[in-house]
Structure 1
Amino acid sequence: MTPPPGWYPDPQAPHLERWWDGAVWTEHLRAPEVPGPPQPAGGVSGRAKAVALTSAAVVLVAAIVTGVAVLGEDDDGGGPATGALPTSVPSTDLPTPTPTRTTSEPPADPDAVPDVVVDELNGITLPLPDGWTPPKNVPEDDVVMTTDDGTYECPAGVGLCRHGLVLTRTVTENDEKSPETLAEQDIPDAADAAYDRDTLDRRLYGGIESHRTVKSGPVAVAGRAGYFVRWRVKTADGPGGYVQSLAFPSSVGSESPVIVRFVFDAGPDGPPLADMDRITKGIRSIGDADTGGGVGSSIGPTG
């Protein structure tokens, strides 16, 4: 059975109609007609146009569904049989909409780590480099930051250790004001506290076997002239580490000297030594984020 001539859904574009002349498909295409009452002379009203457009959209969807159904029907389905369709039918390509992506700011993370830690007592802030975090569950006094990889079993097999610590303290036990003298006086105590005996008199690293100065000199800290001394410490157990004492005058109160101690494990698990310089360079007076010049502003760490 050959369907009679007429407009049928285009096999390759069901949203359009193509003329079937009773034997083959022709080149003639059209949009599906919208049924409706005849319009009075003089044109179509705006409301009628809106209704017609809405109806056209409904018919277009119906035509797509119908076209798909017709392609699956046999000769008894009332439309052109699938077997009678030509192997090549011209079709009209419609543009494909380009998807767009919208972006928005991610919500603030309530657990986000701050960029700095604040030492209210000494009136300074210290930057937190990558790999560092404010102290959590740390028994040592005066700790302002630790490495963020948690704890590990100490090399001597007793207690828990951390790969890196930074501590601050105010010098009150003497009247010394010279940053160089203060740093030189503090470094032995800093090394002993870090790698010899802890507050419970335990030798977590088996004790210090030797040390040597690897770096020292004047340095600008928050716009003030300071001084630092850095030791490489070798221990009986484990890879040992690096200890640094940094002294400078506070910018608050009586301007009592401040000591910042750095304790970094040596070896591949320890933090990079460059973090000592990054933290030192980033120390600021509270409320003065741009402080960096002033006394000793041209002085940097020297070997």
Structure 2
Amino acid sequence: MPRKQPIITTTDIEDAIAAGIRQSRQPAPSTSEQLSGCALALLCIFGLGALVIAIVVAILYNGDMNSRNEAAKPGLHHLADPRTGIQIPRHPGWDDEMVFNGVALSYGEYGCTRGTCDRGAIQTGSTSAYQDAKNAAEGELKKWVAANYRDSKKHTELKATPVTIAGVNSYLVRWKVDSASQAGYAQVVAIPLSTGDFGTVAMHLNESPEAPKPEFMDQVITEIR
């Protein structure tokens, strides 16, 4: 059976023409509008990238400043003994001293019965006269006190204990020294060396308001390298 052909009326034609006219009257996006949209998108992308870069730069800058501040802190400068490799901290106010065995620092020079004395001193050395670090610390402390508190009458042992210096098991002995002219605190830490000898760090502080407090000795122990 033959299919009927659709009948197109005049009204259909008029409606199609009107729809085409309405479609053609709708404004299409102008070239400037399209460019503005692209520019806005690019600005957003570049702005986000710049923000990320600024954050990264700020983090790196702060880290660098923190490192510089850390390096600038007092007490982080060290004086190295070329014979033993031991390094002692050099704090503000402490001066280099010339010694034959090791390196040395002194603090607070003043006039005394011997001519010139110091309110504090730190000195490195080495010895092969002992079998273990404990005996080395005790023996060298006796010599140190005799050299720096010559008229000492007695002493009180404040510490005698193992310590770790730069990862090495060492030994520390500290005395409170009483003498006719000047009381004070003296200590020696003995550090085993790879040669079989012992490196030593001897220290004393006078009991004086012009000298560092005894607690400073504990600080120095933690800073020896």
Q: Tell me whether the two structures share a fold, i.e. TM-score over 0.5.
A: yes
Give runs of aligned pairs for residues 186-201 of structure 1, distance below 5 A: 186-196=140-150
Alignment match of 2:167 (pick from 203, 220, 223): 223
Gap change, CA 1:257 and 1:140, over 3 Å in 2? closer
The structure 1 residue matched to 2:208, chosen from 267, 273, 285, is 267
Q: Distance between the aligned counterparts of 2:213 and 2:103, measured in 1?
A: 19
Cα deviation for residue 134 of structure 1 reads 2.4
Does 1:166 find its partner at 2:122?
yes
Give 2:60's aligned residue. Answer: none
Question: 2:100, 2:110 → 1: CA distance?
Answer: 16
Q: 2: distance between equivalents of 1:272 and 1:139?
A: 25
Runs of 4+ in 1 over 3 A off after TM superposition: 138-143
**1:115 alignment counterpart:** 77
> Aligned letter for 1:242?
Y
AA at the equivalent of 1:115: H
TM-score normalized with structure 1 length = 0.46
Cα distance in 2 for partners of 1:269, 1:226 equals: 30
TM-score by length of 2: 0.61
Unaligned residue ranges in structure 1 (runs of 5+): 1-112, 197-206, 285-303
- Aligned counterparts, 1:55-204, within 5 A: 115-135=77-97, 138=98, 142-147=102-107, 149=108, 151-154=109-112, 157-172=113-128, 174=129, 176-196=130-150
3-state SS, counterpart of residue 191 of structure 1: helix
Give unmatched runs, 5+ long, in structure 2. Answer: 1-74
Q: Which has the larger helix fraction? A: 2
Cα 1:220–1:145 change in 2 (3 A) is: same
Q: Please say if residues 129 and 279 of structure 1, whose CA atoms lie closer than 8 Å, have aligned partners that are also in contact.
A: no
Higher strand content, 1 or 2: 2
- 2:212 alignment partner AA: P
Gap change, CA 1:242 and 1:118, over 3 Å in 2: same
Equivalent residue, structure 1, for 2:187:
244
Q: 2:86, 2:199 within 8 Å by CA — same for their partners in 1?
A: no
